[in-house]
Each structure stands twice: as C-alpha cells, then as structure tokens.
Structure 1
C-alpha cells in the first residue's frame, strides 16, 4: 500500500509547489490535499485494523501506519488551513513534531531495516517539514520551499511509489 500512497504524495507535493510558485489560491490547492490526506488515512487505518496486537511480527505494520498517518494529517491540516483561512502557526508546530519524528524514522530505516534509500527519503521529508515550522512559526520566508516541494514530490514520493507499484524497488 506504500506505493499507492507515495504516488499521491508525489502529486500533492508537486501541486503544492506549483500552486505556491504560480500564486494559485489555497482553496484550489486544498482539493488534492484532501484527496491525498483521505487516501493516506484510509489506507493506514485499514493497516491498523488488520494488524495483530499479539505478535511481535506485526509491530512493523503499526509503525508503518503510525508514520503514514503523519502524512495523511499533514495534507488534511494544509487543506483545512487553506479552505478556512486559519492561522498556520499550529500547522508549523505540527510540522516540527513530524520533522523530529523523521530523525528516528531515518535511523530505523538505515540501522534496523538496512534501507539507506528510505533513510535518505526520511531525512529529506524531515527537512521539508522543518520548513513548515520555520515559515509558519518563526515567520521566515524561504523562497526555495516550492522548488523543494516539487523536487521531493518527484524524488522521494512519485518515483519510489511508482517503483514500488511496479515491483522495481
């Protein structure tokens, strides 16, 4: 299911970057954020429901679902802020929380799972989430963020998602 979610995370990051570069209003950009957020939450809740609390083998499923929900809530948070024109500072604090979680996630991917590709991807995701904190809480404008979102949409989500779906990862 990771490949499915990553494919849509790719397009939402690309959309968000393009929307910001093109001065497209937040309500228009919210549509793809809602679709991607709901898809991610649905898939990860299904994973949790089908998990087994009694065996250690399935703890990875819960970890994957928990980290996957960080994405789903990110996109729904962005959508709600855009639609209702809310104060983005709380989204910034949420982004810091997720950025901090990306550090142990990268560690686990590299040292526990032996997957250096996903470790790098988690680091890159953490950097993007950190920009959400810097821009929305610290109120520092970072002009590179839309380009970073597009880059990460392609390199950390779309390509890996497509490769996972085609069994090339």
Structure 2
C-alpha cells in the first residue's frame, strides 16, 4: 500500500474511532471518509495502470481498493443516513479477504510485519460486520479497538516507512507489540462490556 495512503487510513480510523466513542458527529466524519476513500481508489488505479503486468504490484493495489470502497461506502452511508447493513456485510467479505492477504504476506512474500497487520485488519473488519451488519451493541468496544489500530496498523507503520525506518524494526518487536495489543483488546472487551444483542446503529464507524 502507498505509505501516504496508509497514513491517511490511520487518520480516518482515528476519526471514526472517536465518532464511535461519541465525540464526533456521524455526518462530519462521513466527509473525511469520502476524502480518504477517493484517495484509496485513485492510488490503486494508478498503480495498476503503471504495473506493466507485475502481478505482485497488482495484488498490492487490489488490497488498497478494499479500504477505498470501505470509506466511500461509509461516507455515503453516514451523509445520507442509510441503513448500515450493506457496509456491515461488505465488511465480512473484506475480513475474509484480509486473511488471504495476510497469508500471502506470511507465505509468499515472507513479510511478517504486514502479515500481522493484515490479520489485525481482518479482526477489525469482523467487528464492523458484527456492529453494522448484525447490529449488535458493541460500538464502544469497536471504537477502542479502532483507536488502537489507527496508530499501530496504519499511522505509525506509514510514518516509519516514509522516514526509511520501517525495515529497521525487527519482526520480534512487532510480535511483542501485537501481543500487547491482543492483551489490550481482551481487557477492553471486559471493560467496555459489549452486548451482543441486536441494536439499531445510526452511523458507520469503519
């Protein structure tokens, strides 16, 4: 993924997490989702058109579309006050594909760092499916998880990549940070006490 695009994925995840926690109004967040969604559609189109048949480059660009269409869908849904089930079920499809991208990074490319990051994104999209598609009352918990992932899986890796420091980060350190994140997610689950009963959801947090 383009490092600039990944940086702004961090930005939109951060804003949407704050929205889920009740600090930002849905339509206001929807506008920024459209900005990032457009960026994440234009970028992979350019990468594919200039790939000259490079299958690895095309595969990488296809992953960016998952984000672009998510944020366009979120932005339009929030701004038009549409039902969220479409975004939710789309998120399930993306979560499944994210596991595939994770395996490709682990097995084909030997990229442990982004293999882990894609797994974390799969978990996040699964939460969006439960919240928006099944309409379960887990908004607060999803907000906290989104807040953490906005930095750990997007903003920080993008910034380190742009400064040339990402490759110097050992995979062992990434595993440690991942385990700390998992521990935080488990703690927050019990602290936020999400309720898996069906509840209406008015705004889209993805």
TM-score exceeds 0.5: yes
User: Where does the alignment leave 5 or more consecutive residues of structure 1 unmatched?
Assistant: none
Q: Which moved more, 1:17-26 or 1:88-97?
A: 17-26
Moved over 6 A (4+): none
Q: Does residue 117 of structure 2 align to residue 121 of structure 1? A: yes
Q: Does residue 17 of structure 2 align to residue 17 of structure 1? A: yes
User: Where does the alignment leave 5 or more consecutive residues of structure 2 unmatched?
Assistant: 167-206
* Residue-pair matches, total: 165
Deviation at 1:23, TM superposition (A): 4.3
- Secondary structure at the residue paired with 2:137? coil
Higher relative contact order (CA 8 A, sep 6+): 1
1:42 aligns with: 42
Contact kept, 8 Å, 1:3 with 1:164, in 2: the verdict is yes
Cα RMSD (Å) of the superposition? 1.1
2:134 aligns with: 138
1: CA distance between counterparts of 2:116 and 2:51? 27
Q: Which moved more, 1:154-163 or 1:29-38?
A: 29-38
1: CA distance between counterparts of 2:118 and 2:11? 18
Deviation at 1:93, TM superposition (A): 0.9
Q: Which moved more, 1:15-24 or 1:5-14?
A: 15-24
Map 1:1-169 to 2 at 5 A.
2-53=2-53, 58-142=54-138, 143-169=140-166
- Secondary structure at the residue paired with 1:87? coil
TM (norm. structure 2) is 0.77
Deviation at 1:140, TM superposition (A): 1.1
TM (norm. structure 1) is 0.94
2: CA distance between counterparts of 1:130 and 1:100? 9
2: CA distance between counterparts of 1:145 and 1:85? 20
* Per-residue Cα deviation, 1:127-160 (whole angstroms, up to 9, x for no partner): 1101111112222111310111111100000000
Contact kept, 8 Å, 1:3 with 1:163, in 2: the verdict is no
